[in-house]
Structure 1
Amino acid sequence: ARPGLMDLVRAAHTAPPTRPVAGMGAHPSAAALFGGIAMALYRRERTGQGGLISSSLLGNGLWSNAIQVQGQLAGVKFPRRDGRQAAPNPLSNIYRCADGRWLSLVVLNEARQMPALLGLLGLAHLADDPRLATAESREAHKEDLIALFDAGFERYTLAAWRPLLDKAGITFGVVGTLADIDADVQMREGGHLVPGA
């Protein structure tokens, strides 16, 4: 709470702070403590001298929020956070699919990816729409464009969207759920989940 993370991850500046997930601060603090112990043991092996180590929720919270904390300390004025309906760029936002699942759209190569995206969303007729022409015009008309994109994404389930977006070369990420973890092949093949552990 104190390092500002709860404030930064709420849905909008007017929304209440988001409740943290259990262990959200304790796990990084424990990992930092483990790293400190390992380095102190290594130092003792090499130099014969021990070391004093420490870890704290506050310190690890500041580390987790380091980019924003550094900006604040340097005088950066961060824009207020509004809800997803007012995201500054409709091409980089979170959208709900027909089955209630969410995906995070990140269109950075607009010249190449936007025409394909508009086609998939059933919005090909907007290809020459001045609201989409520039970053400034997209931001000026963000609410209208997000509503159009919402309607487009809600036509199919996440399972249907994944191959369509992949084939079109459109960058996106799945907003994962705990229920997804067991079936995630990459988590198993990467050794992140160990059977029987």
Structure 2
Amino acid sequence: MKHKNLKNLPLKGIKVLDAASYIAAPLVSALMTDYGAEVIKIESHTGDTYRDAVKGGHVWPESEMDWAFILENRNKRSLSIDLKTEEGQIILKKLVKESDVLITNMPGEPRKKLGLDESKIRKMNKKIIYASLTAYGEKGPDSKRTAFDATAYYARSGLMEWSKTNNADDHPPFPIPGGGDHPTGLSLFTSILLALINREKTGEGTTVSTSLLANGIWSNAMLVQAILSGHEPINTFYWDNLSALRNIYLLRDNSKFFMLLTNEEKYWNTLLNKLNIEHLNNDNNFNTEDKRQINRKLLKIELQKAFKKYTFPEIKEKLLKTGIIFTKINKIEETIHDKQAIMNDMFMPIKGEIIKNLKVVAPPINIKNVRRKKANKAPKLGEHNVEILKELGYSPKEIKKFQVNKIIL
């Protein structure tokens, strides 16, 4: 199938099979479509279970539009096929032979049963890049277990424990949904690109892999490295224990102001001047950095009094040119209207969905003089069955027989 707007895109001509579900692995092929790759999403007759994420209101608030599915499956074509059948395996073999990349996050046993394990795929196409995403890694006692990013990326890596409160009886907050899937997907995306470059040089295909756990540990690398280096575990940065100059304050407009003033020698007097509280310099509780830390709770009370006089726009105007690092803690509904995000194309339009002028979150990748492909809707289940089989050389009569025999939806 010929696509418009693929001229000069770096992945033009690359064909990808997406045999994956949910978030981390499917988003990899979505990223590849943004830069010109053609992706066929292989699904069972019931489809990727993530299609139902917004149905029933059990996981997300119920919606008529599969907004969660759209984000990870834009621009793809869907082939709903029964790979448990002999005919399904013949179709799979044809697809694999002409593909450059296969991506899957299926557990080991289902991969083997459906003919999607690395050894079988490699026999069909020695040059293919086989991309595997697992929960805990390819080897070890938990290699066959399934997981979500909440369990493997956050909980197992130590990230979730770090976010605990200073009340020993409290549980850590629930992890940000998809917050581990997206960086994990980006890791696998990078691995695939490196493998494609290597294939250009050697002519050989290979297998690339990553896991939710590996990416969780990578994200938690500073705290993990401290322990690897013999340091005692670094405890959570509880707000009450932090410096008053690296803390959160409530402003007059009820917005939350987050300041990270790290060079006190340089910025302490500047801050006092801008807040009109120079008298604190004469207070013996605060006239040295050590005293400010010892008396941080008292200092926080004084700073809170000062900050409460201003709205965020007012405090921003006062501090913007000082070099002091600060920000407002945005609500998500504020983030989507953030001029900085909008002007840097952090949201991109998508066509074909039920909401007019819909936008989706754009990937955090920018290549000068290379525009991403214009985003198109996520496919309906089996939407491109006939189209794809025709491209493989099947006649209308053969395709009809596949439909009657439930080989395809």
**1:51 & 1:65 partners in 2: Cα distance?**
28
Q: Does the alignment pair 1:179 with 2:330?
A: no
2:223/2:234 contact within 8 Å kept: no
Residue aligning to 1:157: 311
Mean alpha-carbon deviation: is it higher for 104-113 or for 40-49?
Answer: 104-113
Q: Does the alignment pair 1:138 with 2:292?
A: yes
Question: How far does residue 171 in structure 1 lie from its aligned partner after superposition?
Answer: 2.6
Aligned length: 196
1:99/1:157 contact within 8 Å kept: yes
Q: Does the alignment pair 1:148 with 2:302?
A: yes
Mean alpha-carbon deviation: is it higher for 56-65 or for 155-164?
Answer: 155-164
Question: How far does residue 70 in structure 1 lie from its aligned partner after superposition?
Answer: 0.9
TM-score between the two structures when normalised by the length of structure 1: 0.87
Mean alpha-carbon deviation: is it higher for 1-10 or for 104-113?
Answer: 104-113
**1:116 & 1:70 partners in 2: Cα distance?**
35
Mean alpha-carbon deviation: is it higher for 47-56 or for 159-168?
Answer: 159-168
Question: How far does residue 47 in structure 1 lie from its aligned partner after superposition?
Answer: 0.6
Q: Render the CA deviation track for 1:39-70: whole Å, top value 9, x for unaligned.
A: 11221122111121112110100000011111
CA 1:11–1:173 in structure 2 vs 1: closer, same or farther (change >3 Å)?
A: farther
- Please list, as runs of the form range in 1=range in 2, the aligned pairs for 1:30-41 lying within 5 A after superposition: 30-41=185-196
CA 1:10–1:98 in structure 2 vs 1: closer, same or farther (change >3 Å)?
A: farther
Larger proportion of helix: 1
Question: Which of 171, 177, 180 is matched with 1:22 structurally?
Answer: 177
**1:164 & 1:36 partners in 2: Cα distance?**
45
**2:308 & 2:265 partners in 1: Cα distance?**
24
**1:136 & 1:78 partners in 2: Cα distance?**
23
1:11/1:82 contact within 8 Å kept: no
Q: Any unmatched runs of 5+ in structure 2?
A: 1-154, 351-358, 360-409
TM-score between the two structures when normalised by the length of structure 2: 0.45
Residue aligning to 1:102: 256
Question: Which of 56, 62, 71 is matched with 2:217 structurally?
Answer: 62
Question: How far does residue 169 in structure 1 lie from its aligned partner after superposition?
Answer: 4.3
Structure 1 runs (4+) greater than 6 angstroms displaced: none
2:162/2:235 contact within 8 Å kept: no
Mean alpha-carbon deviation: is it higher for 158-167 or for 75-84?
Answer: 75-84
Q: Does the alignment pair 1:2 with 2:156?
A: yes
Q: Any unmatched runs of 5+ in structure 1?
A: none
Question: How far does residue 20 in structure 1 lie from its aligned partner after superposition?
Answer: 0.7
Residue aligning to 2:278: 124
Give the % identical residues.
32
Kindly name which structure, 1 or 2, has the bigger radius of gyration based on alpha carbons: 2
Residue aligning to 2:131: none
3-state secondary structure, aligned to 2:214: helix
Question: How far does residue 112 in structure 1 lie from its aligned partner after superposition?
Answer: 4.0
**1:153 & 1:62 partners in 2: Cα distance?**
37
**1:37 & 1:47 partners in 2: Cα distance?**
15
Question: How far does residue 71 in structure 1 lie from its aligned partner after superposition?
Answer: 0.8
1:13/1:82 contact within 8 Å kept: no
Q: Supply the AA of the counterpart residue of 2:179.
A: M
Q: Render the CA deviation track for 1:132-189: whole Å, top value 9, x for unaligned.
A: 2222211111111112112221222222211112144433122222122232222222
CA 1:179–1:91 in structure 2 vs 1: closer, same or farther (change >3 Å)?
A: same
CA 1:79–1:47 in structure 2 vs 1: closer, same or farther (change >3 Å)?
A: closer
Residue aligning to 2:81: none
Residue aligning to 2:100: none
Question: How far does residue 115 in structure 1 lie from its aligned partner after superposition?
Answer: 2.2
Larger proportion of strand: 2
Q: Supply the AA of the counterpart residue of 2:214.
A: G
Question: Which of 228, 234, 258 is matched with 1:73 structurally?
Answer: 228
1:11/1:84 contact within 8 Å kept: no
Question: How far does residue 13 in structure 1 lie from its aligned partner after superposition?
Answer: 6.3
